[in-house]
């Protein structure tokens, strides 16, 4: 069965965005070691799942980056990997290489996991990631803790109805200030 990997950037106080979706606090001066880490976790990935809100920015930004002749292989992977966008509002698909998922999140994710192929990565957004976590659909958590506290914002754990027990697999620090915490469900 395919693994669903969650890769999210969070503030030191656990938020993935500010109260008005601000993301200006994220560290983007990634060192080579962090870029290599991302290459490792996305290497076996051949599908990306996103919530509709994040997809509206994510897909066009990566497509624009890939148009640059100097675009790297990771950029092309973000564009060329098939994407599944979970939505309750879209009736027509505005993106290439993308499928819309409109059904029950548990059934849709389990169907994806049961298909042949490599791992699946999910980048969010906050509400979508929260639903995946609530239903115990995430097999591997890669939490990129940024060296900043923002005080309030959006959490990927807001839908939890009970304690979520996780097992730390590894913690890796990077020169840019980010620490990546990798967890599996306990």
Q: Average of pLDDT values for 42-65?
A: 94
| Tokens encoding 113 | 């996991």
CA 120 to the chain's CA centroid: 10
How far is residue 182 CA from its own chain's centroid?
A: 13
Name which of 9, 84, 24, 41 is nearest 184 in CA terms.
Answer: 41
Determine what percent of the chain is predicted with pLDDT higher than 70.
100
Largest CA distance in the chain: 48
- pLDDT tens-digit map of 19-29: 999 999 999 99
Query: How many domains is the chain built from?
Result: 1
pTM for this predicted structure = 0.94
The answer to whether residues 148 and 186 touch, using CB atoms and an 8 Å cutoff, is no
Kindly state the tokens that stand for 160: 């939890």
Please, what is the average pLDDT of the chain? 95
Looking at the DSSP bridge assignments, the partners of residue 166 are: 185
pLDDT of residue 125: 87
Structural domain that includes position 174 = 4-185
Q: What is the CATH number of the domain that holds 118?
A: 3.40.430.10
pLDDT of residue 37: 96
Q: H-helix or E-strand containing 142?
A: strand 140-145
Contact between residue 136 and residue 71 where contact means Cβ atoms under 8 Å apart: no
Tens digit of each residue's pLDDT (9 = 90 or more) over 96-155: 999 999 999 999 999 999 999 999 999 988 999 999 999 999 999 999 999 999 999 999
Is 164 a residue whose pLDDT tops 90?
A: yes
Q: What is the mean pLDDT of residues 40-65?
A: 94
Q: How far apart are CA 161 and CA 91, in angstroms?
A: 31
Task: Give helix then strand counts, H and E, for the chain.
Answer: 5, 8
Please name the residue ranges forming H helices in the chain: 32-42, 52-66, 73-80, 105-114, 126-134
- In 3-state terms, what secondary structure has residue 17? strand
- Output the pLDDT for position 41: 95
């Amino acid at each position: 069965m395919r693994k669903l990997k969650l890769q999210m950037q969070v503030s030191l106080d656990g938020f993935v965005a500010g109260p008005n979706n601000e993301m200006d606090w994220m560290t983007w001066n990634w060192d080579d070691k962090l870029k290599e880490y991302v290459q490792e976790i996305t290497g076996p990935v051949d599908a990306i799942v996103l919530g509709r809100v994040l997809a509206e920015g994510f897909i066009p930004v990566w497509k624009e980056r890939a148009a640059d002749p100097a675009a790297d292989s990771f950029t092309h992977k973000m564009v060329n990997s098939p994407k599944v966008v979970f939505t309750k509002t879209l009736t027509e698909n505005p993106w290439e290489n993308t499928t819309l998922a409109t059904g029950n999140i548990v059934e849709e994710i389990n169907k994806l996991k049961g298909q042949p192929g490599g791992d699946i990565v999910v980048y969010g957004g906050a509400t979508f990631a929260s639903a995946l976590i609530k239903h115990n659909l995430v097999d591997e958590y890669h939490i990129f803790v940024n060296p900043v506290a923002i005080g309030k914002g959006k959490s990927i754990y807001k839908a939890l109805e009970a304690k979520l027990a996780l097992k730390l697999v590894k913690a890796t620090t990077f020169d840019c200030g980010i620490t990546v915490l990798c967890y599996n469900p306990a």
